[in-house]
């Protein structure tokens, strides 16, 4: 089922954009939380703001919501600048990590609350709440209280309450952070499916790289109040634009050779015996210093003869053939394909294919 979304209004932003940030800056005293960022969120996409604590992602979300006011710049929703409008005059809703459900109300009453505030009649709001609860896979649970639900179910009630009014944009501030790992992984899949069903733009904040890669149409990687890179999960992971992105999104190796600084992902590296053929590959000989078995994969740290260390990840396809800690000290040759290596230009903070 697809819920209706608001029509885009004609204004200064391109009509396909639900959110546009132009030159947004926010400071707290001497601390620059958001440093002149520009950002576009396309209509109906799942857009994630990813970064470590203090990177500016949550502040940016709060600026879009209206909980904070920018020192400079424009915040456009559907093309209209709302930077000076209070939260209740913005066509957005926010879902927080702590759910913020009313414990004395039933599930249905929680979801209906926003409609009740707007003066929607009882029958109409009950019908709408039932429709939305069906979308979030909670149909039939209208009469339960929040205390009778699991953590994942409570989070979906909070989601239903946020989308019941058909906001243009839904803002989600680390909503899965309070869930255990197994439930969090399950909810990632469900949340993406719900977003596709409702057709509303989701702007999602997280520090979890796997979460961002799993759910997002596009990702903005934040660091120190700036955006390091915006792209699809494949673009951000396979072609990191800066050394920070390479190191923060997944695990990446950084080496410097002949005045060039470059990255290569651990899973792109093959570990060979010194006598194995390696034609067509970039290679580095070295010695295994660490072997860590982590279930599906084994992780190796290899100290290179030419200086530096590389991490290699190998899938444990055959458990009987999985390597063990007895290999520490073994001589190996690491090899990877040319196209999987990217040069980091530390001056311009861009990358390009290594020219070897």
Mind listing the pLDDT tens digit for each residue in 122-137? 999 999 999 999 999 8
3-state secondary structure of 279: coil
d(CA 82, CA 66): 8
Least reliable range by pLDDT among 5-9, 112-116, 191-195, 352-356: 352-356
pLDDT at 57 over 90: yes
Pairing assessment for the beta strands 218-223 and 31-42 based on DSSP bridges? unpaired
Residues 6+ apart with CB under 8 A from 320: none
Q: Which CATH number applies to 17-238: 2.40.50.140, 3.40.50.300, 3.30.300.180, 3.20.20.60? A: 3.40.50.300
d(CA 253, CA 85): 45
d(CA 45, CA 16): 10
Mean pLDDT, to the nearest integer, of 311-340? 79
Backbone torsions φ then ψ of 179, nearest 5 degrees = -90, 155
* pLDDT-based confidence at residue 224 (cuts at 50, 70, 90): very high
Residues 6+ apart with CB under 8 A from 155: 95, 99, 175, 176, 179, 187
Q: 172 near 205, Cβ under 8 Å?
A: yes
pLDDT at 1 over 70: no
The confidence score (pLDDT) of residue 319 equals 56
pLDDT at 7 over 50: no
Q: 47 near 202, Cβ under 8 Å?
A: yes
The confidence score (pLDDT) of residue 70 equals 96
C-alpha atoms less than 13 angstroms from C-alpha of 318 in its C-beta half-sphere: 3
Query: By CB neighbour count within 10 A (0-12 exposed, 13-18 middle, 19+ buried), where does 269 fall?
Result: buried
Task: Give Cα separations from 328 to 69, 216, 254, 267, 336 (angstroms).
Answer: 55, 39, 22, 19, 21
pLDDT at 325 over 60: no
State which H helix or E strand residue 34 sits in: strand 31-42
3-state secondary structure of 291: strand
* Sign for the pseudo-dihedral over CA of 60, 62, 63, 64: positive
* pLDDT-based confidence at residue 281 (cuts at 50, 70, 90): very high
Backbone torsions φ then ψ of 194, nearest 5 degrees = -65, -40
Mean pLDDT, the chain, whole residue set: 87
The per-residue pLDDT for range 119-174, each reduced to its tens digit, is 899 999 999 999 999 999 898 899 999 999 988 899 889 999 999 999 999 999 99
pLDDT at 274 over 50: yes
pLDDT at 322 over 60: no
The confidence score (pLDDT) of residue 345 equals 57
Mean pLDDT, to the nearest integer, of 178-185? 83
pLDDT at 72 over 90: yes
Mean pLDDT, to the nearest integer, of 234-241? 90
d(CA 283, CA 272): 10
* pLDDT-based confidence at residue 275 (cuts at 50, 70, 90): confident
* pLDDT-based confidence at residue 8 (cuts at 50, 70, 90): very low
pTM recorded for the entire structure: 0.85
Mean pLDDT, to the nearest integer, of 320-325? 49
The length of the chain in residues reads: 356
The confidence score (pLDDT) of residue 13 equals 41
Tokens 């909810």, residue? Answer: 187
* pLDDT-based confidence at residue 327 (cuts at 50, 70, 90): confident
The confidence score (pLDDT) of residue 6 equals 47
d(CA 174, CA 162): 15
Domain definitions of the chain by residue range: 17-238, 251-353
pLDDT at 326 over 90: no
Least reliable range by pLDDT among 181-190, 224-233, 258-267, 311-320: 311-320
The confidence score (pLDDT) of residue 316 equals 84
The confidence score (pLDDT) of residue 176 equals 85
pLDDT at 265 over 60: yes
The confidence score (pLDDT) of residue 341 equals 87
Instruction: Quote the DSSP letter at residue 342.
Output: E
Residues 6+ apart with CB under 8 A from 274: 285, 331, 332, 333
Hey, what long-range contacts does 315-322 have (CB within 8 A, 24 or more apart)? 322/293, 322/298
Mean pLDDT, to the nearest integer, of 20-27? 97
Q: 334 near 272, Cβ under 8 Å?
A: yes
Q: Please, what is the Cα angle at 135 between 197 and 66, to 5 degrees?
A: 75
Of 147, 73, 77, which is closest to residue 105 (Cα–Cα)? 147
d(CA 218, CA 212): 9
Note the CATH architecture for domain 251-353.
Beta Barrel (2.40)
pLDDT at 205 over 80: yes
């Amino acid at each position: 089922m697809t819920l209706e979304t608001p029509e885009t209004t004609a204004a200064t932003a391109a009509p396909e954009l639900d959110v546009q940030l132009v030159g947004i800056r926010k400071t707290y005293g001497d601390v620059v939380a958001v440093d002149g960022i520009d950002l576009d969120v396309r209509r109906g996409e799942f857009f994630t703001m990813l970064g470590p604590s203090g990177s500016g992602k949550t502040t940016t979300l709060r600026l879009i919501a209206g909980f904070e006011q920018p020192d400079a710049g424009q915040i456009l929703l559907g093309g209209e600048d709302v930077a000076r409008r209070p939260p209740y005059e913005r066509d957005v809703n926010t879902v927080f990590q702590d759910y913020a459900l009313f414990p004395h109300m039933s599930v249905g009453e929680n979801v209906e609350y926003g409609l009740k505030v707007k003066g929607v009649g009882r029958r109409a709001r009950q019908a709408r709440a039932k429709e939305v609860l069906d979308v979030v896979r909670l149909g039939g649970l209208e009469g339960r209280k929040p205390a009778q639900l699991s953590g994942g179910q409570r989070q979906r009630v909070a989601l239903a309450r946020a989308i019941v009014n058909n906001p243009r944009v839904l803002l989600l501030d680390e909503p899965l952070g309070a869930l255990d790992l197994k439930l969090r992984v399950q909810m990632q899949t469900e949340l993406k499916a719900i977003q596709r069903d409702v057709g509303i733009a989701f702007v999602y904040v997280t520090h979890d790289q796997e979460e961002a890669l799993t759910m997002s149409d596009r990702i903005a990687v934040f660091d120190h109040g700036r955006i390091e890179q915006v792209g699809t999960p494949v673009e951000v992971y396979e072609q990191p634009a800066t050394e920070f992105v390479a190191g923060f999104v997944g695990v990446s190796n950084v080496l410097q050779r002949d005045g060039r600084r470059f990255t290569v992902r651990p899973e792109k590296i093959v570990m060979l015996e010194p006598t194995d053929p390696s034609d067509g590959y970039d290679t580095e000989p070295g010695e295994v210093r660490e072997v860590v078995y982590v279930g599906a994969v084994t992780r190796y740290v290899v100290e290179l003869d030419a200086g530096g260390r590389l991490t290699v990840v190998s899938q444990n396809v055959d458990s009987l053939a999985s390597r063990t800690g007895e290999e520490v000290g073994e001589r190996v040759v690491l090899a990877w394909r040319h196209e999987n290596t990217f040069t980091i230009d530390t001056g311009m903070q861009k990358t390009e294919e290594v020219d070897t």
